[in-house]
Chains A and B, each alone.
Chain A
């Protein structure tokens, strides 16, 4: 029997878990997206200095389970004087871990921009910095929307691991309800549904963004007659 009343009674725990999962994932993904961009941009603009360190970082992220990273931060942190709240450890863990993946996704995006476009920019006197933010990053972002969306989804799902370092997220609170009520199916199904909703939102956001970026129509521009002055 599916007991809806049970879910209603425990709604506060479920909502608290939802809220914690949402904000921790949001901040964690934000860190991952931006730190990843910094890493990829460093690697791109001076490969000799940053190529190797960033590559090592990426390999470390790929080679370490998120859970181990969370343990290191939360339980190992105090050993080096780093005392983090479980939530902050969660944000940091997801951020650092995701950054490695995003750095690699961004790199793929950067790599598929033909080098000639940058040479054209150089020949016009456009500085490497301007070329990065006006020419490379906008094009790269367009290219990485699908793999980036995918990676965000994976991060949100993996975020369930923060329950193990005692964050009251969706997964942990569902378990708490299970332990209190001895009902297994309802709480876990409910949180499964909630995870699925978050992920569906991200996926739709991704599609919308992809469409928006791809479908730019010819823009109306002022014709010579309307402009302040036109040279002959």
Chain B
């Protein structure tokens, strides 16, 4: 679908590894106390692939993304990022939690965008975007801000660089958050309901940025309730319910000919809500 063969982003390396997954989760399970939230999930993201995750509230979509990023440790199975095991390491035949620095290193190719933006309110838009470049990549303030400006331009917010988050609209905040993640040059981006906290009229500007990203060949996993967007942009849609992946396939197939009753129900409910 979104071809990677446009001029800008996919690097030679990306093309070479095509076919190998950037994110590969096998049999992951996660419980909060007694509550099993994910069970036996297999999830794979190939380079430049865009996957939308849909499903009813509480089905475990956020938890899946968070486990894939190890913001939440998974209990079973494995997550590999670029071939490296995320979050754990073998020590004396046992699996133990890896050191934080190791976790950071393995998930470095992953960028994340949250429903509620989570910008740092005491920093300007530009500072939000350039902070990690300075702290993590060790760039000088000058270089970091030049790079940061480039990212803000990419999301169309260069002229808001000096503004604090409180004086930005929701849509602008989310675009700054996207720029902040992009600044670290991720190879894959996770979005957890990036437009769910926005006023309806602001959803479009954020989706446009994401479409452009997809078009540029970014690998993305997107939890969303925007079915129209999923239908247009996703290579594959994954439907989750009660902690399991129930169905997965190209959007045309999934939306036109849902096989499972639960997906049919889910789509019907969605249609009822959106066609009136």
> Interface on A for B, CB 8 Å cutoff?
114, 116-117, 119-128, 130, 134-135, 138-139, 142, 216, 218-224, 227-232
Q: Which residues of A contact B101 (CB under 8 A)?
A: 127
Select A119's contact among B114, B119, B121, beta carbons within 8 Å: B114
Taking each of B100, B159, B162, which has the highest tally of chain A beta carbons within 10 Å of its own beta carbon?
Answer: B162
Q: Are A124 and B149 in touch, CB under 8 angstroms? A: no
With known contacts A220-B162, A221-B124, A227–B135 Cβ distance under 8 A? no
Is the CB of B111 closer than 8 A to any CB of chain A?
yes
A-side interface mostly? loop
Select A124's contact among B121, B136, B146, B153, beta carbons within 8 Å: B136
Select A116's contact among B116, B122, B147, beta carbons within 8 Å: B116
With known contacts A135-B120, A218-B167, A228–B132 Cβ distance under 8 A? no
Closest chain A CB from B134 CB (angstroms): 9
Closest chain B CB from A140 CB (angstroms): 10
Closest chain B CB from A213 CB (angstroms): 9
With known contacts A117-B120, A119-B118, A231-B147, A126–B163 Cβ distance under 8 A? no
Interface segment, one of B10-18, B177-185, B207-215, B264-272 = B177-185
Is the CB of B193 closer than 8 A to any CB of chain A?
no
Select A221's contact among B118, B126, B143, B184, beta carbons within 8 Å: B126
* A119 CA to B69 CA, complexed, in Å: 10
Q: Are A125 and B132 in touch, CB under 8 angstroms? A: yes
Interface segment, one of B44-52, B102-110, B235-243, B253-261 = B102-110
Give the number of A-B contacts (CB < 8 Å).
Answer: 100
* A32 CA to B264 CA, complexed, in Å: 63
* A128 CA to B104 CA, complexed, in Å: 11
Q: Are A124 and B184 in touch, CB under 8 angstroms? A: yes
Q: Are A125 and B104 in touch, CB under 8 angstroms? A: yes
Q: Which residues of B contact A138 (CB under 8 A)?
A: 122
Q: Are A134 and B162 in touch, CB under 8 angstroms? A: no
With known contacts A123-B69, A130-B135, A230–B149 Cβ distance under 8 A? yes
Q: Are A126 and B132 in touch, CB under 8 angstroms? A: yes
Q: Are A219 and B146 in touch, CB under 8 angstroms? A: no
Q: Are B122 and A221 in touch, CB under 8 angstroms? A: no
Closest chain B CB from A119 CB (angstroms): 5
Q: Are B146 and A223 in touch, CB under 8 angstroms? A: no
Is the CB of B112 closer than 8 A to any CB of chain A?
yes
Taking each of B110, B111, B120, B158, which has the highest tally of chain A beta carbons within 10 Å of its own beta carbon?
Answer: B120
Q: Which residues of A contact B71 (CB under 8 A)?
A: 119, 122-123
Q: Are B162 and A216 in touch, CB under 8 angstroms? A: no
Q: Are A219 and B162 in touch, CB under 8 angstroms? A: yes
* A92 CA to B158 CA, complexed, in Å: 52
Q: Are A117 and B118 in touch, CB under 8 angstroms? A: yes
Is the CB of B24 closer than 8 A to any CB of chain A?
no
* A228 CA to B144 CA, complexed, in Å: 11
* A135 CA to B120 CA, complexed, in Å: 7
Q: Are A125 and B145 in touch, CB under 8 angstroms? A: no
Nearest B-chain residue to A229, judged by Cβ = B146
Q: A127-B100, A221-B161, A227-B146 are in contact. List 20 more A-B contacts (CB 8 A).
A: A117-B118, A117-B120, A120-B112, A120-B114, A120-B120, A122-B71, A123-B111, A124-B132, A125-B104, A126-B132, A134-B131, A135-B120, A142-B122, A218-B163, A219-B124, A222-B149, A228-B142, A230-B150, A230-B153, A231-B150
